[in-house]
Structure 1
Amino acid sequence: MKYFILTGLLCLLMTGVFAQSAPARFNLLGKAVDTSAVALNGATVMLLTPKDSALVNFTRTSETGAFQFKNLKRGTYLLKISYVGSIPFNRTIAPPDGNELDLGELKLKPITKELFEVVVKTARAPLTIKGDTIEYNAATFKVPPGSTVEELLRKLPGVQVDQEGNIRAQGQEVKRVTVDGKSFFGSDPKMATKNLPADAISKVQVFTDKSEQAKITGVDDGKKEKTVNLELKDNFKKGGFGKLVAGGGSDLVPDRDNRARGEIKGNYNKFDTKQQFSVIGLANNTNQTGLSWNDYQDFRGSNSFNWNDEADFGFNGGRFIMFGDDQESLSIPVTGGRGRGFSDNQAGGANYNYDTKKTKLSSNYYYSRTRLSLDALRSRENFLPGDLSILTADTSGQINANSNHRGSIRFEKSLDSMSTLIFLNNSRFGTNSGLLQAEQSLFRNGETLTTRNVRNNTSSGQSLGMANTLLFRRKFKTKGRNFAASASILTNTSESQLDLNTSTQFFESSRATLAQRQDQRTNSVSNEYKASLLFTEPFKKKFFWESFYNFSLRRDVADRDVYDRMREGSTGQMPRLDSLSLYYENNYLYNRLGTSVRYSHKGINLTVGAAAQRFDLDGEYANDQSLFLRSKINRTFMNIIPSVGLNYDLKNNRYLNFNYSVNTQMPSARDLQPIVDNSNPLFIRQGNPNLLPSQAHNLWGGFSYFNPGSFTNFWGNINYNYFTNQVVYNQVIDPTTLVTTTRPENISGGFNVGAYTNFSFPLKKTKSNLGFGTNTSYGENLLYINQVLNTSKNQNYTFRARLDLTPVDWFTLYANGEWGIQKVNFSVDTRQNQTIYNYTYGGEMNIRLLGDFYINSNLNYRVFINERFGFNQHVPILNASVYKILGKEKRWEIRGTLYDALNRNLGVNLSAFQNFVTNERVQTISRYGMLTLTYNMRGVKAQMKRQGF
């Protein structure tokens, strides 16, 4: 026993001596200099593992050329130093005997012409930092076979990608992704990152670029855009790639008539340095109602979206006037997730782009069709003056079918080195039909049944929209002098028909029953002609004078005829209801003349300007277009619009921004039409031809900082918005029947103020990153209810956290959480004040197993609590899949997926608005399983020779 104790003490003593002689960790420092011993400031210093050159840590040298790595684990490392114009420095580092190793001055030799090829072949470092540009070598960041660029980006230090695919790099949102320097996949970064194969990429470059407007005019406006450029491997630059996915499965919900589920989708994309061709198609009954982000990026291409297509010059990004139109967008609809209810969907299209130095052409066609079945239970409680409330219980079932054809053409021609001509066309033709069966009951103070309405409506319609723009830009020999002119023609036509069949019972007043059968037909046409001029002139080197003129002439015509089906004659003729019918013409004439002065010097960009604008509204309306006497609407509005902007580059990746602007928005054509919409007799809507344009005064300031050595970043902003002549929908509630009539009105005084911050840093470079964020806001919204002003006050407080963890090549975890509190106060009835808690927990996990098996799972757990209504909702949505990569070239994938594994997709939603809260429950797809087979095309072999297509 005595010897055992002595042996133990000796072991402890030897351990202590060893620990003192060879510490577990050590510091590494040195200094990078050139052959003349001049310090190299900003050189990239990396530590790699000798075995596979995996990145362990990195930093940049200081102004004195010094660098340091602290608390390194004992082991052997490969030190690599790179600097522009120098041969990369490489040295194997063995652990020292002590706790610090000083390498002294490390000399980097200049690159000579003879050594250039050798240097290029040996300089494949994981990343290189050049100024504010970070270049990643994609080959050193391992992702599973078949991965997308999005998964590759998640591996890169300093890059963050959330569950929706939004990208942040160096602390800023990425707004542009290019492929080999060209925008082959449009203006939304997700179009490129979500489906381009990761193995097609050789390098990823992240840098700060000037705005497109600054590139065109040659005048620095101080606005910066964070950009990601993807460099393709040689064997992908002239070839095709894409994928085809087919799958089937079934609902897995107890006590339900489970339905078979299936989907098929595919895309093919082929481009070289001049041309790109894409086709895409899908069909499913899994509620993917349009192109998802996973599909869209392989379809639109090179010139489909361009940053120099803005034809409305002047303040506010060129949007000199915004119309609150109700027409559907001409662009292709894109959905980020799966919709509600139960839908069957088909879509497909083709896209072609041609891009040379002098000529650029982009064209596409896209067709989509959706049939949606939606059954819902809704309740709504309205708070009224005098301690009165209305509880509305609504049960509805509807079937809607929509189909759309969309096409676009963009042609750009460089007339010479100084002049450019651009033609744009976007067109859409759509049809729709619907069937609605609904029962709605109104309860006074939540107890006494007052009114009940039953509806059985059918509807149909079609619409055509088209926008054409011709844009001319001219540069001059004097730098900064530019001229631009544009002309646009926009048209929208629509025809709709509603067969209204409704019965309304009144229990408290006359106890009568009101039955209505109506045929409502509405034809509308809207045409707009626009023109703009812009001229920029430099003076005194640091100053630029910019002047612009905007013109718009718009004419809206609406012809609404309502017929009484209940008095339909034997010949099929129906009497016209003049009280609900209307013919309406409206002409808007808009002129704006503005000027501004910009100062640009040493990182400071200050712009101060003002514009005078005038609206002339000339309209008339009558119950029938055949009537000679019509009611007139003649209004004129004039005002001055100021604009102030400051962008200040504080150097060392610090930026300060400030902006004040005023946005003007015209009322929508629908709001201006004095039409009575009684499609729901319990909620009647009226138009208002006397509406004024609304204005929003916007004040915004922000600051951002990024440290390229530590990859620590911070950004924050504060904003304030004040509204004048805001269009709100005032309410008048009949005290007996509780029928609500809404009418748009102008009101001033609403505002909101908010602040947003975010801070993130690596816990361990290349392995984990942690981020925190907060935002808070306060707003007041005004609304008249039975002629009593109601002020609803909203306070919001939110805290966010995010962890990106990639400890080993075979495991990744992306976790996030958000905790929010919303306080809502109502002036008409303070008893209805409430506090709403929103908590969201999300995450995605990927595991690589032996034999090319992979596990992927993602969780979205939402908690919604409103104690005022006893509402406590917990909805965890868990999706999990297991898949295997097959084939010699790993082009095949077989995947089994369980959607909504916990069967908690309840379709429940609770919302609070200005003077009411709603609770909605919609039947929708919940737990189901799918087995899919995917074929991935990876491009052509390097030895294959292709010329164009």
Structure 2
Amino acid sequence: MRWSAGIIVCLLFIGTCVQAQRPRYGTIKGIVIDSLSRRSLESTSIAVYLAKDSALVNYALSGDKGEFTVTDIPLNTHCNLIVTHRGYEVFSKLITLAPDSKELRLDTILLVKSFNELKAVTVTALRPPVSVKPDTLEFNVSSFKTMPNAMVEDLLKQLPGVEVDRDGNIMINGKKVTKIMVEGREFFGGDPKIAIKNLPKDIIDKLQVVDNKSREARFNKTSNGNEDLAINLSLRKEVQRGWFGRVSAGYGSNDRYEGSAMVNFFNGSKQFSVIGNANNTNRGSISGEDFNISNSRSTLDGGGGGLTRAASGGLNFSENIGRQLKLNGSYFYNKSHTDNLSKSQRRNILNDSSFFYNSDNNSVNDYINHRFSLNASYTIDTLTEIHINSYVNGNNNDAVNTKQAASLGLDDQIINTGENTYSTKGDGKNFSTEFFFSRRFLKPGRGVTLGFNYNYNDQRSVSDNIGQNDFYKNGLPDSTDLVNQRSDGKSTGKILSFTATYSEPVNKYINAIFRYNYNRNYNYSDKITNRFNAATGKYDLEDSAFTNAFRNTNEAHTPDISFSFNKNQYRASIGSGIQFLTQDNLSVTNGELLHQYFVNFTPSANLGYNFSKTGSATLYYNGRSQQPSIQQLQPVPDNSNPLYVQLGNPDLQPSFFHNINVQVRESKGNNYWFTGLSFNTTQNQIIYQTWFDDVGKQLSQPVNVNGNFGMSGNLQYSKTWKKRETTLRMNLGSNGYYNRNNTFTNKVSVTSNAYSFSQSIGLNFMYKQQLSILPTFNIRFNRTRYSSQSIQDASFNTKTFSLSAFWNQPKWLILENNLQYNYNSQIAPGFNKSVTMWSAAVNCLLFKKKQGILRLAVYDILKQNAGVYRSVTQTYIEDRQTQVLQQYFLLSFIYNLRKFNTK
């Protein structure tokens, strides 16, 4: 097979490169201990640098017994050995491995405690590549080589334990990164993609990874063991006063264009950034994806349909006013226009038969969005802080969708046909604010927090629904349904939440936390529908079947108590709350009120054990409730598609989720592994039951079900090899899940059992700053079995292979290549089950400092991009084809701006 041949070729090529670069090397071994207690020092950083130019040779972290091994040290070469551990003075030694030696075993290294935390910085400029500190993993950026003009995203791909997918999502040691800060302050709202795709790597000094905890959790020093991660980018000292950025413009075949600009002004604690983007190449808004060929993708996976023209801009600012007040804010503007032609063929599965539903769609969508955020922190004194965060969002949407559809029996006999045009114009606004007050007391562990949250949401829309639907019996016309309606919709939501906590130390290791939360969620929806009156030429005939005003109010009081234990490498917490929930559903139109009262227990527990400074095991459980949305509760039908009518259900009850998770992870220098197991189940889960009436219309309504549960497991392993100028990293991953779901097919209960397993392998090869090769391969097997004999079991597999390569030789030329192969066995007959997306670019570096780039890129060289997708469910099998962006050439010029005040 083509994909397997590609993998073999890549592996052979990389292996050849590694062998070709193998001069004579040796190994250094030793043990690090405390000079007084003689205790082994785990996770000590041992780095070896060339004495002549301070270039990093290799590094390692010590094990739990203080032992370390640093490989690939050049023989007969003077090197500096630098040993660092937080809280200890830096140890340095000049070493040389004899020409005939393969191993140098050092005497036991005794580290002396330091009473000056800054001393390690002032002793030497040779910092370790990786440092492990309490609650922080720190990377020394200068130790990791990338291509010229690299961005932070390119840096992340070279760090051990870090994975960045093609969409810019970041995983570090098995955890997702959800926020990025610059010098401890949010950058464009903390959006990771904007930061990693627009900030240059060469301005970064250190990259620090921490848990992304809430303010309440940070204050109370609690953890559920499952927090996401945040990255803080610490800038080099010489760039903290000045400005830098990048401007770019490109034009190509078929009138394709891309342009972007970003300028950053830094002056000590002051930060100001401006960003803008415009393109018609489906690159989205200001995520920084322009000119990146790795973001060109096929739509075999169901994404990327339509042709989009987008323009966007934004600004970000941050400033410290005195020593007490810190301000941070951002503004975004986004405008897009999308055209999409699509067609679908759906086979609807009934209990004793089936029929086909075919449709052709033409949609046009215009969207405008404004977002503004402002964060303020005020330190009253060393024990008291106030934080205020505010967020405003406004949007406008104008969409038109024209559909032609027909339903056919297995004998190709017509059941119904329809032509429908649905247009809607709407606008919305959202405002939210958060107030957080914290006060510590002189007694360690004692403290009080107060939190207040308010969210207001308002949506208005006017929709026109015009169409004709013809229904048949025995293949002959039977009836016609004409639709010509105008609906005025209004939806308002208000959420008010108040939280208070008090923490009290029970003893040195145990803290008690008392917590109370009040939450009120109010939603109002009003839909007025009128039919067209031919006599007056206006929409003034009330259509009561599609007119309704509905109000939903949820009010909850939740007292909670928890105990946390933290001693050495052990940590644990256990707690429970009681939620008293009142739910009122009122149909304002007819005065019907449904009052419901619930009492839910909200238990939580976690147990953690740090078996090393970089290894931990965690077991945790939590339970939470979720209320149905106003759209699910409102009884008025939604007939925007007259052949697919959606109903509400005012009798829905809240769902309650249970989740148990076990995670074990360890990182040791160049090696990292992670494994996790998870089990979840839901009481009163909300699902959608669908059925068909006697003329072939499909109806859908949310209902509560019980008995659904799922299990999943995954294993990740990463290992890095480094030989002087050559680095090779391997990532292995295994994932699997099992889900059991109870649903309804044509009002008959059906149970499905879904199984999935995937295996992935990825390599990251880097030689000097000249050659980079990143092949990845993933295969996934899926199988679903149904309890109903009338529903065919589904089984399919997918394969994905990608190859990214960069070649920088001579120094003024960079060649890029990106190849993506996707295979999906469930694609319908008549369509290619595989798509190969190949894009390439040539970059010429210009000017003395290589700050200019002239770039020629071609996207979809093989002209294989195809928007084909198949989905299989309990009630239907659907094949869909959408309009996609195909081959184009783009000539671009990119210029990197730099001006710093180093005085």
TM-score, length basis structure 2:
0.88
Provide the residue aligned with 2:675 in structure 1: 716
Determine if contact 1:812/1:846 at 8 Å carries over to the other structure.
yes
Provide the residue aligned with 1:729 in structure 2: 688
What do residues 541-590 of structure 1 show as CA deviations (whole Å, max 9, x unaligned)? 2222222222223332222121111x332363621111221122233222
Q: Which shows bigger deviation, 744-753 or 762-771? A: 762-771
- Equivalent position amino acid for 2:92 in 1: P
SS at match of 1:88: strand
Question: Structure 2 vs 1, CA of residues 497 and 837 (structure 1 numbering), >3 Å: closer, same or farther?
Answer: same
1:163 equivalent to 2:166? Answer yes
Question: Structure 2 vs 1, CA of residues 773 and 631 (structure 1 numbering), >3 Å: closer, same or farther?
Answer: same
Note the aligned Cα RMSD (angstroms).
Answer: 3.3
Determine if contact 1:126/1:138 at 8 Å carries over to the other structure.
no
Distance 1:403 1:210 in 2: 32
Could you tell me how far 1:158 is from its partner in structure 2?
A: 5.0
Distance 1:878 1:727 in 2: 42
- Equivalent position amino acid for 2:389 in 1: L
Provide the residue aligned with 2:260 in structure 1: 265
Q: Which shows bigger deviation, 672-681 or 266-275? A: 266-275
Superposition pairs of residues 600-619 of structure 1, within 5 angstroms:
600-619=566-585
Superposition pairs of residues 506-545 of structure 1, within 5 angstroms:
506-508=471-473, 511-545=478-512
What do residues 699-724 of structure 1 show as CA deviations (whole Å, max 9, x unaligned)? 1111111223xx21111111111111
Q: Which shows bigger deviation, 631-640 or 739-748? A: 631-640
Distance 2:373 2:123 in 1: 44
What do residues 231-268 of structure 1 show as CA deviations (whole Å, max 9, x unaligned)? 32232101111111111111xxxxxxxx3111221111
Question: Structure 2 vs 1, CA of residues 370 and 731 (structure 1 numbering), >3 Å: closer, same or farther?
Answer: same
What do residues 497-533 of structure 1 show as CA deviations (whole Å, max 9, x unaligned)? 1111111111226522222111122122222322222
1:237 equivalent to 2:240? Answer yes
Question: Structure 2 vs 1, CA of residues 837 and 94 (structure 1 numbering), >3 Å: closer, same or farther?
Answer: same
- Equivalent position amino acid for 2:82 in 1: I
SS at match of 2:153: helix
Provide the residue aligned with 2:432 in structure 1: 467
Question: Structure 2 vs 1, CA of residues 182 and 346 (structure 1 numbering), >3 Å: closer, same or farther?
Answer: closer
- Equivalent position amino acid for 1:291 in 2: I
Provide the residue aligned with 2:766 in structure 1: 806
Distance 2:222 2:546 in 1: 56
- Equivalent position amino acid for 2:812 in 1: D
Determine if contact 1:220/1:600 at 8 Å carries over to the other structure.
no
Provide the residue aligned with 2:746 in structure 1: 786
Provide the residue aligned with 1:396 in structure 2: 361
Could you tell me how far 1:128 is from its partner in structure 2?
A: 5.6
Determine if contact 1:396/1:436 at 8 Å carries over to the other structure.
yes
Could you tell me how far 1:461 is from its partner in structure 2?
A: 1.4
Provide the residue aligned with 1:202 in structure 2: 205
1:88 equivalent to 2:92? Answer yes
Could you tell me how far 1:675 is from its partner in structure 2?
A: 0.6
In structure 2, the gaps of 5 or more residues are 1-22, 292-300
Question: Structure 2 vs 1, CA of residues 786 and 374 (structure 1 numbering), >3 Å: closer, same or farther?
Answer: same
SS at match of 2:737: strand
Distance 2:622 2:55 in 1: 49
- Equivalent position amino acid for 1:80 in 2: L
Provide the residue aligned with 2:719 in structure 1: 761
Aligned residues: 861
Partner residue of 2:283 out of 273, 288, 303: 288
Superposition pairs of residues 369-768 of structure 1, within 5 angstroms:
369-386=335-352, 388-445=353-410, 447-508=412-473, 511-565=478-532, 567-570=533-536, 572=538, 574-621=540-587, 623=589, 630-708=591-669, 711-734=670-693, 736-764=694-722, 767-768=727-728
Between the aligned residues of both structures, percent identity stands at 25
Provide the residue aligned with 1:905 in structure 2: 865
Could you tell me how far 1:887 is from its partner in structure 2?
A: 1.5
Could you tell me how far 1:495 is from its partner in structure 2?
A: 1.7
Determine if contact 1:289/1:339 at 8 Å carries over to the other structure.
no
Could you tell me how far 1:273 is from its partner in structure 2?
A: 3.0
What do residues 820-851 of structure 1 show as CA deviations (whole Å, max 9, x unaligned)? 01102222345511211111112211110215
Determine if contact 1:292/1:337 at 8 Å carries over to the other structure.
no
Provide the residue aligned with 1:340 in structure 2: 305
Could you tell me how far 1:92 is from its partner in structure 2?
A: 3.1
Distance 1:558 1:81 in 2: 66
Could you tell me how far 1:617 is from its partner in structure 2?
A: 2.3
SS at match of 2:381: coil
Determine if contact 1:425/1:468 at 8 Å carries over to the other structure.
yes
Q: Which shows bigger deviation, 73-82 or 490-499? A: 73-82
Question: Structure 2 vs 1, CA of residues 50 and 537 (structure 1 numbering), >3 Å: closer, same or farther?
Answer: closer
Distance 1:729 1:578 in 2: 25
Question: Structure 2 vs 1, CA of residues 160 and 76 (structure 1 numbering), >3 Å: closer, same or farther?
Answer: farther
- Equivalent position amino acid for 1:659 in 2: Y
Could you tell me how far 1:788 is from its partner in structure 2?
A: 0.9
Provide the residue aligned with 2:252 in structure 1: 249
Could you tell me how far 1:228 is from its partner in structure 2?
A: 4.7
Determine if contact 1:265/1:282 at 8 Å carries over to the other structure.
yes
Could you tell me how far 1:399 is from its partner in structure 2?
A: 0.8
Partner residue of 2:841 out of 868, 873, 881: 881
Determine if contact 1:345/1:370 at 8 Å carries over to the other structure.
yes
Could you tell me how far 1:728 is from its partner in structure 2?
A: 1.2
SS at match of 2:631: helix
Partner residue of 2:788 out of 828, 846, 862: 828
1:894 equivalent to 2:854? Answer yes
- Equivalent position amino acid for 1:475 in 2: R
Provide the residue aligned with 2:3 in structure 1: none
1:105 equivalent to 2:107? Answer yes
Provide the residue aligned with 2:295 in structure 1: none
Distance 1:480 1:29 in 2: 43
Provide the residue aligned with 2:18 in structure 1: none
Larger Rg: 1
Distance 1:587 1:220 in 2: 32
Question: Structure 2 vs 1, CA of residues 111 and 123 (structure 1 numbering), >3 Å: closer, same or farther?
Answer: farther
Could you tell me how far 1:383 is from its partner in structure 2?
A: 1.8
SS at match of 1:194: helix
Could you tell me how far 1:446 is from its partner in structure 2?
A: 6.9
Distance 1:754 1:289 in 2: 33
Could you tell me how far 1:201 is from its partner in structure 2?
A: 2.3
Could you tell me how far 1:220 is from its partner in structure 2?
A: 7.0
Q: Which shows bigger deviation, 808-817 or 645-654? A: 645-654
- Equivalent position amino acid for 1:730 in 2: Q
Distance 1:480 1:295 in 2: 49
In structure 1, the gaps of 5 or more residues are 1-22, 251-258, 297-335, 624-628, 944-949
SS at match of 1:574: strand
Distance 1:113 1:423 in 2: 37
What do residues 881-939 of structure 1 show as CA deviations (whole Å, max 9, x unaligned)? 11112122322111111112221221111222343222111111111111111121123
Provide the residue aligned with 2:272 in structure 1: 277
Distance 1:446 1:426 in 2: 57
SS at match of 1:767: strand
Distance 1:478 1:39 in 2: 31
TM-score, length basis structure 1:
0.84
Q: Which shows bigger deviation, 454-463 or 817-826? A: 454-463
Partner residue of 2:888 out of 904, 923, 928: 928
